[in-house]
Amino acid sequence: MGTPGFLAIGSGPAGVSAAETFRARHPKIPVRILSADPALPYAKPPLNKEYLGGGHANLELHTAGWFRRHDIELRLGVTVEHIDVEAQEVVTAGGARFPYWHLVLAPGSAAVPLGVPGGDTAQPLRSFADAVALKMAARYASTAVVIGGGLIGCETAGRLAALGVDTALVLPEAAPLQRRFGMEVGLRVARMLADVGVRVVCGTAVDAVDEVGVTLASGEKVDGDVVVAATGVRPDIRLAADAGLTTRHGRVVVDEHMRTSARNIYAAGDVTIAYNSAAGRPVVAEHWRDAAQQGLVAGLTAAGHSAAWDKVPGFTCAIGTFTLNYRGWGSGFDDFTLTEKAGGFTVTYRGRGRVVGTLEARSNPAS
Ligand SMILES: Cc1cc2nc3c(=O)[nH]c(=O)nc-3n(C[C@H](O)[C@H](O)[C@H](O)COP(=O)(O)OP(=O)(O)OC[C@H]3O[C@@H](n4cnc5c(N)ncnc54)[C@H](O)[C@@H]3O)c2cc1C
């Protein structure tokens, strides 16, 4: 049970940032994080980049000693099953109840299952445990199939190929990242991957996964000692919906201060659709820095300080020997201008005559 205070559900960037921000403002009030993940809070972006590639990967967000010194109680491997809004308590899978004055809901997203025969045997890549399993499997693999042409699929395929694994990337779209960045950039991303040895198989679905690889809709078999499911994620709104919080488009609705529709409950990170005061409308951002930023705003609001989410969302990713840097509202575009630069290109996306995003691609041949 314990004394009520500040409580965060989730030990990703949103939950940790909220807890440490609140602690910095209120040294005496109990601060607690409950997380289903058994690992000490870690950085996810390096998992399928430096960590998978075998280079130096700085994964640790804070040491166990840091949490102790800052008097933040970290309960790992604990799944919250229910929020009792009336009693201001959360209930765990084991039936333990934790009271709160302020609750930050930051459960992130869950992987979209690969709904084909054998799909459950494909390796997901959402957590440190998944990354360890993939890294070990890659060590003994000569072939790999990565299913899904989004950011995680493209990055992972490029890293596996760089490790010397004969890798295919299979996707239903006409080009990788096409839905996000358009066809012209998609074709360039396909080339970035081909240049590091990835065989990019576009416009086809996977019909089945078995112990030797995958079967495509065309009937073609693609060998994979390792098969990775990078088939997308879905915000995990189960707790919020069960507690009666307002949700829209499968996300928890929060204002610019990260307040949900329930008293003393805030939400931050991948799970939200949040009002952004610079955009003047609700925005979805499923990126590391934005989750940490929303956590900071939630922590400040809970601590009684004035704070609003007003940053332009964005992310950096690494595909083959390229680094891609995107800043923008990520809500589609009407047209774009692509400009060639030494060692890369930039793209300016416009919607309704205004700039809605910029993408910069830069080659780092040493990577
Ligand atoms: C392999 C990989 C690479 C990525 N690369 C990039 C990148 O290069 N750039 C970028 O911007 N973003 C990247 N991302 C996305 C980024 O990591 C996410 O946007 C970010 O982690 C979201 O933070 P969050 O705090 O909302 O959720 P998460 O980081 O997903 O954390 C959610 C936490 O909640 C816990 N939880 C869930 N349900 C419960 C429950 N019921 N009870 C208790 N705990 C619960 C989970 O165990 C987890 O600890 C990557 C993600 C992955 C998986």
pTM above 0.85, yes or no: yes
Q: Is the CB of 154 under 6 A from ligand 1?
A: no
Residue 276 in contact with residue 258, Cβ under 8 Å? no
C-alpha 208/C-alpha 316 separation (Å) is 32
C-alpha 326/C-alpha 145 separation (Å) is 27
341 bridge partner residues: 344
Residue 108 in contact with residue 270, Cβ under 8 Å? yes
User: What is the average pLDDT across 253-270?
Assistant: 98
pLDDT computed for residue 56 by the predictor: 85
Rounded to 5 degrees, what are φ and ψ at 2?
90, 175
Q: Which atom of ligand 1 is nearest to the CA of 49?
A: 3
Q: Is the CB of 123 under 6 A from ligand 1?
A: no
pLDDT computed for residue 4 by the predictor: 92
- Radius of gyration for the alpha carbons in the chain, expressed in angstroms and rounded: 21
User: What is the average pLDDT across 28-50?
Assistant: 97
The residues, any chain, with a CB within 8 Å of residue 268's CB and separated by 6 or more, are: 14, 15, 17, 18, 104, 105, 106, 254, 258, 274, 291, 294, 295, 297, 298
> Of 26, 22, 107, 12, whose CA–CA distance to 62 is shortest?
12
The residues, any chain, with a CB within 8 Å of residue 238's CB and separated by 6 or more, are: none
Q: Whose CA is nearest to atom 6 of ligand 1?
A: 45
Q: Is the CB of 152 under 6 A from ligand 1?
A: yes
With the most atoms of ligand 1 within 8 angstroms of its CB, the residue from 288, 289, 296, 359 to mutate is: 288
> Of 270, 274, 247, whose CA–CA distance to 259 is shortest?
274
Residue 44 in contact with residue 12, Cβ under 8 Å? yes
Q: How many CB atoms lie within 10 A of CB 170?
A: 26
Give 215-239 pLDDT, tens digit per residue. 999 999 999 999 999 999 999 999 9
Mean pLDDT, the chain, as a whole number? Answer: 96
